[in-house]
Chains A and B, each alone.
Chain A
């Protein structure tokens, strides 16, 4: 039976759901026994809720939904091959959470919401974001946001997601988010670009940036 890969953690959380187990001797791979069940909104939300809980207790590198390994032996090999890299990333996350700044075109809504189902509209919105939010803009926004907000936050620019991610102390994430929303960043954006904050999140974007998101 294959394993569904959930996350890499620096220690095993005290209370894991019955279907989740840890493999390795540190760092650990959290897995569930793979199933053929069709992904659903409920399953995705349950995975996210699990990652949120685990991230409250440990340093956690979320794994992209849908990743599988053939079994425990493969999981141990996967860990062993990346041990140093995983340890560095886990230490770097420490007790911090991700807060994201999403950019999008205010013009993208023209046509985006017309026709098709929600999936088609989602794709059109994502494509429109990618078309108008370039790397130079994201870099400028990241610099501005960093200068106006907590200076010691780690920052990652996610070009494909048209967002800038900040890693902030877990206990201060809500405060950071509140201050970020009040920082007036919108006034620094070019015409036609809007900003939106979200979070706190497990360190999804940092995990992809530091360990390769397969992009």
Chain B
């Protein structure tokens, strides 16, 4: 994962194979979810603001939009 750490602040959205975007995907969208305690939710909307210009949403939110 050393490559990933070198790209902090310069996210490559579609590659390379192990990017900061991959790390963020894993941290935010996978792992054990401690029920009702996701502090990255803002007013019930699964959004996380990362810095000033990066916005990430949970895949659950994307799915909800897809269904809608």
Partner of A67, one of B18, B33, B57, B66: B33
Chain B residues touching A, majority SS: mixed
Q: In the complex, what distance in Å separates the CA atom of A197 from the CA atom of B22?
A: 11
Partner of A127, one of B9, B54, B66: B66
Q: Interface size for chain A: under 10, 10 to 19, 20 to 34, or 35 or more residues?
A: 35 or more
Let me know if B32 and A62 touch, CB within 8 A.
yes
Q: In the complex, what distance in Å separates the CA atom of A78 from the CA atom of B48?
A: 25
What count of chain B residues pass the 8 Å CB interface test? 47
Q: In the complex, what distance in Å separates the CA atom of A49 from the CA atom of B1?
A: 9
Let me know if A120 and B55 touch, CB within 8 A.
yes
Q: Which A residues are closer than 8 A to B by beta carbons?
A: 5, 8, 38-42, 44-45, 47-49, 52, 61-69, 78, 104, 109, 112-113, 117-123, 125-127, 130-131, 158, 160-161, 196-199, 201, 204-205, 207-208, 211-215
Q: Which B residues are closer than 8 A to A by beta carbons?
A: 1, 4-5, 8-9, 11, 13-15, 17-18, 20-35, 37-41, 48-51, 53-57, 59-60, 62-63, 65-66
A45-B20, A160-B60 are known; give 8 further A-B pairs, CB within 8 A: A62-B32, A63-B33, A65-B28, A67-B32, A67-B34, A122-B55, A204-B31, A205-B30
